[in-house]
């Protein structure tokens, strides 16, 4: 049994003018063969250094998760929301400390590094995650349905102005867990929402996520997954609709015996 996982990002289409720095960043790391941690971020378009903010936040969050992986197991398996929140409060403190250091290095106010942030830890028995600002996190267990870890209210736009650097970030940070088994996880910045979620109820489109799920369930290693994500993000299906920078992370868990099995039933061929 093993995870395969990867993340990649791309710029939005630009018609003319100078190409701005990419405002998004994402990364996944393997802690053990059965435990993956990941983070994605999008810097604020109103900030002067959004690319530095996004990279700094992702790297600091993953560093914290890996350094405290023993507590991470407890968070993933916990039934107590306060225990999970305490863990991610520590993650947020680490991220803010690194952002303050980056702001000092850049001789800039902290707000110029404003960024959203989604952090997750996933193992076959469950998921623990936190979210500040916009973005989406979709999982599938053994059932055929894809589900959001954090529900999205299509009428609510408050998250657009919420960043890690906001004064009320800790109070508005969303934390959640989902008990396993977990076979598939997708994390993406908000530009992925209009492509993959229903306009009616904000729920994941099965027809959109099923091919991604099937692909990662048959990929032999992380390198193949990374190349597949790069190709997908640059495909006509995405390219003609993308008007914002986008980061996408995919994780899939299966046994070697399931390598060529369609996750929804039947052979993948």
Q: What are phi and psi of 102, to 5 degrees?
A: -65, -40
- On whether residue 250 sits in a domain, the answer given is yes
- On whether residue 74 sits in a domain, the answer given is yes
- On whether residue 263 sits in a domain, the answer given is no
- On whether residue 72 sits in a domain, the answer given is yes
Task: Kindly report the pTM of this predicted structure.
Answer: 0.90
Two tokens, residue 221: 């290693």
User: What would the mean pLDDT of 139-155 be, rounded to a whole number?
Assistant: 79
User: Tell me: the pLDDT tens digits for 57-103?
Assistant: 999 999 999 999 888 888 888 777 788 999 999 999 999 999 999 99
State the total domains in the chain. 1
User: What percent of the chain is modeled with pLDDT above 70?
Assistant: 89
Q: Is the pLDDT of residue 50 over 80?
A: yes
SS3 221: coil
- On whether residue 266 sits in a domain, the answer given is no
> Tell me, what CATH number does 214's domain have?
3.60.40.10
User: Tell me: the pLDDT tens digits for 178-223?
Assistant: 887 899 999 999 989 988 998 877 889 999 999 999 999 899 999 9
- On whether residue 264 sits in a domain, the answer given is no
Q: Indicate the DSSP class of residue 266.
A: S
Averaged pLDDT of the chain:
87
CA 16-196-57 angle, 5° bins = 70
Note down the domain range covering 231.
Answer: 2-13+21-258
Q: Residue 160 — pLDDT band, cuts 50, 70, 90?
A: confident
Contact 8, 248 (CB under 8 A): yes
Contact 186, 137 (CB under 8 A): yes
Q: Is the pLDDT of residue 143 over 60?
A: yes
User: What percent of the chain is modeled with pLDDT above 90?
Assistant: 62
Contact 104, 49 (CB under 8 A): no
- On whether residue 237 sits in a domain, the answer given is yes
User: Tell me: the pLDDT tens digits for 237-261?
Assistant: 787 777 789 999 999 997 654 444 4
């Amino acid at each position: 049994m093993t995870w395969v996982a990867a993340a990649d990002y791309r710029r939005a289409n630009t018609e003319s003018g100078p190409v701005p720095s990419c405002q998004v960043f994402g990364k996944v790391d393997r802690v053990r063969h059965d435990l993956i941690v990941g983070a994605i971020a999008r810097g604020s378009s109103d900030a002067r250094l959004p690319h530095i903010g996004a990279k700094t936040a992702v790297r600091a969050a993953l560093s914290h998760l890996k350094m405290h992986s023993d507590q991470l197991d407890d968070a993933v398996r916990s039934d107590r929301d306060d225990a999970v929140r305490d863990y991610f409060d520590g993650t947020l403190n680490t991220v803010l400390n690194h952002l303050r250091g980056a702001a000092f290095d850049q001789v800039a106010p902290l707000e110029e590094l404003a960024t959203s942030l989604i952090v997750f830890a996933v193992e076959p028995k469950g998921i623990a995650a936190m979210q500040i600002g916009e973005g989406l996190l979709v999982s599938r267990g053994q059932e055929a349905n894809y589900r959001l870890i954090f529900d999205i209210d299509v009428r609510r736009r408050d998250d657009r102005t919420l960043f890690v650097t906001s004064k009320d970030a800790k109070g508005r940070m969303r934390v959640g867990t989902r008990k396993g088994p977990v076979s598939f996880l997708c994390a993406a910045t908000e530009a992925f929402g209009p492509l993959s979620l229903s306009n009616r109820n904000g729920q994941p489109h099965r027809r959109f996520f099923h091919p991604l799920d099937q692909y990662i369930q048959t990929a032999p290693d992380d390198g193949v997954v990374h190349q597949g994500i790069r190709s997908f993000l640059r495909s006509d299906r995405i390219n003609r609709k993308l008007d914002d920078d986008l980061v996408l992370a995919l994780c899939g868990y299966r046994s070697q015996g399931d390598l060529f099995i369609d996750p929804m039933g039947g052979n993948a061929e």
